[in-house]
Amino acid sequence: MPTLQTSTPARLCYLHLASKEPQRQIDFYQRMLDMDSQVQADGSWILSGPKRAMLVSPADHSGLLACAYDLGDQARLAALRDRLIERDCTIEDYHSPLLEPGAFLIRDPQGRQTIFGVSRPHPGADRQGMPGRLQHVVFQTTELEAMIDFYVNTVGFTVSDNVVDEQTGQLMVCFLRSDDEHHSLAFFRGSKNEWDHHCYETNEWNDIRDWGDRFAKERISIFFGPGRHGPGNNLFFMVVDADRNRLEFSAELEITDVAREPGIWPQGEYTLNSWGRAWIRS
């Protein structure tokens, strides 16, 4: 069966955030992530920096509205659209200032919005700044099996690793890839349906150090890490932004061959952080 990785590789290219205090959120990403801002006619802002971008819209709540994946060219985008229609996935045409015409949106069974398109050049993309490519997004869900079924069998993601409760055999976490990187999407079993975090991939361990130093100068404390994840084998730490959304900085994420079988990891702190204590979702 054709997958994103084998036929239409896709990379996360931007997030669309809602914010109750958008100016504070914009100031955070400008200051901490070297991003420029540009206001749009609808009152939203484009934020963009080196290999990272987002839209921020004023709202009565804060959180993630949608995530967008870049297919690289219009031929791949059209092939994915056709494949999704063949699999009875509802397609909605979508206009975005960060994507070329032809983008579209899908909704998963719990209503999460995923956009597919072809990235267009945006202000700030060429500016200098610390390395951190927007790389993956993670959710907590009360319906883990249904989410995996949709994203694998309808959309075409591939399972890289599963985390399983050894006592019950229940699946607890699933890491999904859309190209050769270990995951661009993941789901944790939880008691709520919510956005868990998003991640910026750096180049090496020294970048993790430098990002940590940057947040330290602003008295923004790390709440998880530094450490190394088992699935993906990446170095990491996590902080929160102005709206208390969680963001991760990562390095050395595994490159995953098409033929690799999904790994199975035991649920526990060592799996989520082989260096020590872990944040266990509940």
Measured in residues, the chain has a length of 282
Residues 146-165 have pLDDT tens digits of 999 999 999 999 999 999 99
**Any idea which architecture 4-117 has in CATH?**
Roll (3.10)
Q: Where in the chain is the domain with CATH 3.10.180.10?
A: 4-117, 133-272
Residue 35 CA to residue 145 CA, distance in Å, equals 37
Residues 191-206 have pLDDT tens digits of 999 999 999 999 999 9
| pTM for this model (two decimals) | 0.96
CB 171 within 8 A of CB 144: yes
Residue 18 CA to residue 60 CA, distance in Å, equals 8
Residues 241-279 have pLDDT tens digits of 999 999 999 999 999 999 999 999 999 999 999 999 888
Residue 274 CA to residue 282 CA, distance in Å, equals 20
Confidence of residue 207 (pLDDT cuts 50, 70, 90): very high
**Any idea which architecture 133-272 has in CATH?**
Roll (3.10)
For residue 12, is pLDDT > 80?
yes
Coil, strand, or helix at residue 60? Answer: coil
